[in-house]
Amino acid sequence: SYAIHEPSYARYMCPYVLFDVSNGSQSSNARSGSLSNPAEALFAACLHAVLAQKFVAGKGDRPPSCAVVTPYREQRACILKAFALLFGGDGAAGRLGVRVSTVDGFQGQEADVIIFSTVRGSKSGAGVGGARRGGSSSIGFLADVRRMNVALTRAKRALWIVGKCDVLRHGSEVWGRLVDDAERRDAVARDADSFTMFDSVVPRETQLSALRRLGGDVRVPAGALRRGADVTAGDRTRDAFATGWGRSVDASREGGASRAHAANDMYGDLDDA
Instruction: Check residue 17 and give its pLDDT.
Output: 94
In the prediction, which pLDDT does 148 show?
Answer: 84
pLDDT tens across the length of the chain (273 residues): 334 344 344 566 688 999 999 888 888 889 999 999 999 999 999 999 988 877 655 555 567 899 999 999 999 999 999 999 999 999 999 999 999 999 999 989 999 999 999 998 765 444 433 444 444 445 776 778 888 888 889 899 899 999 999 999 988 888 999 999 999 999 999 989 899 889 989 999 999 999 999 998 766 655 444 443 333 333 333 333 333 333 334 433 343 343 444 344 333 333 333
Q: What is the pLDDT of residue 217?
A: 75
Check if the beta carbon of residue 193 is closer than 8 Å to that of residue 221.
yes
Q: What is the pLDDT of residue 143?
A: 72
How far is the C-alpha of 160 from the C-alpha of 22, rounded, in Å?
15
CA distance 225 to 149: 29
Taking the C-alpha atoms of residue 250 and residue 158, their distance in angstroms, rounded to an integer, is 9
pLDDT of residue 164: 92
Per-residue pLDDT at 61: 59
What is the model's pLDDT at position 23? Answer: 84
Q: Which residues pair with 99 in a beta bridge?
A: 67
Residue by residue, DSSP assigns 6-58 as: -GGGTTTSSSEEEEE-TT-EEEE-TTT--EE-HHHHHHHHHHHHHHHHHB---
Report yes or no: 77 and 119 within 8 Å, Cβ to Cβ.
no
Predicted pLDDT at 4: 38
Q: Please report, for the chain, the start and end positions of each structural domain, with discontinuous segments joined by +.
A: 15-272
Architecture of domain 15-272: 3-Layer(aba) Sandwich (3.40)
